[in-house]
Chain A
Amino acid sequence: MIPAHESAALTVLLRQGHRTPRAYADLLEETGSALEVLERELSGGDGQISLLPPAREDLIAEAMADIAGWRDRGIRPLTLLDPDYPENLRAVHDRPPLIFVAGGLDPGDAKSVAVIGSRRASPAGIDTARRTAEALVGAGYVVTSGLAAGIDTAAHAAALDAGGRTLAVIGTGLNHAYPPRNAELQRRLARECAVISRFWPEEPPSRQGFPLRNATMSGVTLGTVIVEASATSGTRIQARQALAHGRPVFLMSPIESQPWASELAARPGVYVVDSPAEVISTIERLHGPGALVG
């Protein structure tokens, strides 16, 4: 395991540094160490952090204290270089350099599919979400969703009911629950599975948070299943992000009748499916043995 100093160094970089999180992700992979990146930034060059040595010690001490406090509440920071950082997320260009996890991640979590959709879901949509989550659990997949009302909640609950594993990727810091009525479900997922956030634990809900959450969720998973969604939902954002990540998007057939969905269905990598079984067979084929057929 990477010592706490690595996450402390990265915390300082993200708080004080002048670069974007993505630039720090690149630097982390190039150098193999957040401490080394911090040293480099402090010793000059562009994007440097202008700090005198005493201030630097204070910032590292402060970050260490914050990390200890988060850990006391069961929140673990994971840097991009940590072996437990989700493998699928590492493979996307906009991977966050630092994420926070409540609960425990498992190497098997790479076999994960996102099931998402509208917050104001119809009974038929809820039913489809449940059947999809159950089928994925039955085939050995982890069901990932966003802990929002409607489809997300149905997918998490059905996966738990089926005795499966389900991950939440949320759009706020882990100290918050949004919507508040899902606080209990969030606690249960943290206890039994894992809840992931790319935000500082204290960060409240914000307009910018949710699209970033969707990008992270797409990154964590092998593909995204869209059960039901309106033209204005965050679900559409995730569809676009999944395609930008080179991951397949599955549209459960009833939503194809909506104009935005039929437009999306024309894109390569988008599958319109009638059943959860089609989602599973497609993912199995895309991730079959490491060779190609013409």
Chain B
Amino acid sequence: MPTVAELSDLYGNFMLGPQPGSDVCRVCFNLTNGYRRCYACAHGGRWLDALAPISYSVAGEQLHHALAGYKRGGGPVARRFALELAAVMWRYLAGHERCLVRAAGVECFELVTTVPSGERERDDTHPLRRMVSELVAPTRGRYRPLLHRSEVVVAAHEFSIRKFDVDGELGGRSVLLVDDTWTTGANAQSAAAALKRAGAQAVGAVVIGRYLNRGWHDNDRRLCGLRPPFDWQHCVHCRNEKSTD
């Protein structure tokens, strides 16, 4: 069986870890022109207590291809991607979940759940759910399918406090929300809103890829400055602490 370290090492050659900075969104680590929040984070919902994007996912590049491919078709290619992405998630959370816990201002995340997919029927069999509930050791014991799409019709990239529903009461527990990709954050923020409505004390999110397009503004030059190999020793939050010490 492949080890987590060995499989995730292979992704270390193209993953690009976000670095906090004065021209990087403090919420989602989007590259900005000197703004502290990107447009989507400044104008969208603000329900998440902290977010950890593991890597940038650049349009057309290998991580972006894997993040699209693991949910396509369910064949051997999709299953392979799911396993590799699970290794990335496992290694990252084993090293840095506590950094996200601190950033969210809680003791721990008692529960783990995933952001439901666009199509409601696909949810029970969605590979992200399988990753988090079966493949990734740091999350599988705490996984609960807490969220589902509500009856309210909301567009894919739109935030709404009513987009998702939670069955039952969370009674002050804290939740780690997992998603594959962050584009505008509308889905993750909507999910966090639903969890808070159901009584969650805090919600932290981890996403594998923060989507970026090289053609946008200065992105290409700035992404070229983030050279692989990926640094598994530091995350956006433990880097932050260092810089403010």
Name the segment of B69-77, B188-196, B235-243 touching the other chain: B69-77
Q: Which residues of A contact B9 (CB under 8 A)?
A: 268-269
Q: Which of B6, B10, B64, B72 contacts A29 (CB 8 A)?
A: B72
CB <8 Å contact, B13 and A91: no
Residue of A nearest to B58 (CB): A93
B202 within 8 A of A: no
A291 within 8 A of B: yes
Given A29-B72, A293-B4, is A269 in contact with B13 using a C-beta cutoff of 8 Å? Answer: yes
Q: Which of A22, A243, A285, A292 contacts B83 (CB 8 A)?
A: A292
Q: Which residues of A contact B69 (CB under 8 A)?
A: 91
Band of interface residues on A: 20 to 34
A125 within 8 A of B: no
CB <8 Å contact, A22 and B60: yes
How many Å lie between the Cα of A289 and that of B80 in the bound state?
11
How many Å lie between the Cα of A88 and that of B232 in the bound state?
27
A287 within 8 A of B: yes
Interface centre among B2, B60, B72, B230 (most CB of A within 10 A): B2
CB <8 Å contact, B60 and A93: yes
Which A residues have a C-beta under 8 Å from some C-beta of B? 22-23, 26, 29, 87, 90-93, 110, 243-248, 267-269, 285-294
> Can you show 18 pairs from A to B with CB atoms below 8 A apart?
A87-B75, A91-B66, A92-B62, A244-B14, A246-B10, A246-B13, A267-B229, A269-B12, A285-B6, A286-B6, A286-B10, A291-B1, A291-B135, A292-B7, A292-B86, A292-B90, A292-B137, A294-B90
Which B residues have a C-beta under 8 Å from some C-beta of A? 1-4, 6-7, 9-14, 60-62, 64-66, 68-69, 72, 75-77, 79-81, 83-84, 86-87, 90, 94, 135-137, 229-230
